[in-house]
Amino acid sequence: MVRRALRTSGTVQGLVTSMTIATLSAATRFTPNAVAELAVHAIRAEADLTPKPGLVDQRGSGAHADMDVATLHASAESLREAFAECASAAAQSVAWPELRYRLGEIGRAGETAMLAATGGVNTHRGALWALGLLSAGAVLGRSTADAVDIAARLASIPDRYSAVPTSNGARARRRFGVSGAAGEAQAGFPHVRLYALPALRTARRAGMDEASARLEALLALMATLDDTCILHRGGATGLSAVQDGARKVLAAGGISTPRGRRHFNALDDTCLSQRLSPGGSGDLLAVTMFLDALDDSALDDSALDNGEAQPCKP
């Protein structure tokens, strides 16, 4: 059974109408180019992480037939300008509705650039949505928590110029009654805050290498997220199979243990044989690495001053 979405954090629950009359002023914590670099690097790092059940990685195309790592790299680079423009728009003192409208414009132009770079393949629509909002939040906020709260508030303001979504994810969201990418952003990215980031940092503290720690974060997302990419392809049965498989890997101690590796291979086989792609989890892993990098970069004042930022850990 598909579960209901997690509730938003208390800091995001204020009425949107009370925010729409406010004027935003940038905290100038990050430059637009620095934010864009972090976003692009996070998307590329997600693509490069290997192995990933059902997703494109350096082994191959996973459950997909129309993309590979090179496609994802090209897609990530095509979005650099959009992320920089989202951050730049936020750096201007504007009212909330005006910024939301501008972000919608930038997002639609970014999607066009992405499709041109990939030959019409939707590689990162969800990542563009999430990281575009967070790019604006990173410029406006004085902390990573601020960036998340601002992104959530912006996501909650309707884009009156946007057409009714017709993507596979949007159809799955309506059919199965899940929150999808829009609800995840509006709630302040609870799966990232409550599951992925803690898993990533716990794995590091336990001495895992960076790739293994990121895989732990991905599995934490796969185990808990009502992923519309999986729902579109496999319905509720497919989603249950992927979530249960991910939980078994984690319960066995992760991919680094022999039992965990066996469960991981079984999960990988399930995704490939049933063509189940946890694309929503992949997008949120990129969000996880972006927010993690924001925390790291905030400690390097020189990076903020000269327009550079420290990318995700290698």
The answer to whether the beta carbons of residues 284 and 179 sit under 8 Å apart is: no
Q: How many domains does the chain have?
A: 1
Residue 293: its pLDDT value, please?
96
What average pLDDT does the structure give for the chain? 87
d(CA 294, CA 312): 9
In a domain, 132, yes or no: yes
Which range of residues forms the domain containing residue 224?
20-159+180-303
Distance CA 156, CA 193 (A): 18
Q: Within a domain: residue 292?
A: yes
Average the pLDDT over each of 34-43, 81-90, 173-182, 297-306 and give the range with the smallest value: 297-306
Phi, psi of 26 (to 5 degrees): -70, 140
% of the chain with per-residue pLDDT over 70: 83
Q: For 56-104, what is each residue's pLDDT tens digit? A: 999 988 888 889 999 999 999 999 999 999 999 999 978 999 999 999 9
pLDDT in tens, 219-262: 999 999 999 999 998 999 999 999 999 999 999 999 989 999 99
- On whether residue 167 sits in a domain, the answer given is no
pLDDT for res 165: 65
Cite the DSSP H helix spans in 206-227: 210-224
CATH number of the domain that 82 lies in?
1.10.4200
Specify the pLDDT at position 93. Answer: 74
Q: Which residues pair with 23 in a beta bridge?
A: 95
Residue 297 has what pLDDT? 73
Of 67-71, 108-112, 141-145, 177-181, least confident by mean pLDDT is 177-181
pLDDT at 308 over 70: no
pLDDT of residue 30: 82
In this structure, what DSSP letter does residue 7 have? P
Q: Is position 94 within any domain? A: yes
Q: What is the pTM of this model?
A: 0.87
Q: Do the domain assignments include residue 35? A: yes
Does residue 155 sit within a domain?
yes
Q: Is the pLDDT of residue 306 over 50?
A: no
Tell me whether residue 194 is in a domain.
yes
Supply 196's token pair.
Answer: 């992925």
Residues 178-188 have a mean pLDDT of 93
Residue 304 in this model has a pLDDT that exceeds 80: no
172 within a domain of the structure (yes/no): no
Q: How many CB atoms lie within 10 A of CB 198?
A: 14
Q: Name the region of 76 (left: φ>0; alpha: ψ -120 to 50; beta: rest).
A: alpha
Nearest to 256 by CA among 310, 287, 219, 293: 219
Q: Tell the burial category of 21 from Cβ atoms under 10 Å away from its Cβ (0-12, 13-18, 19+).
A: exposed
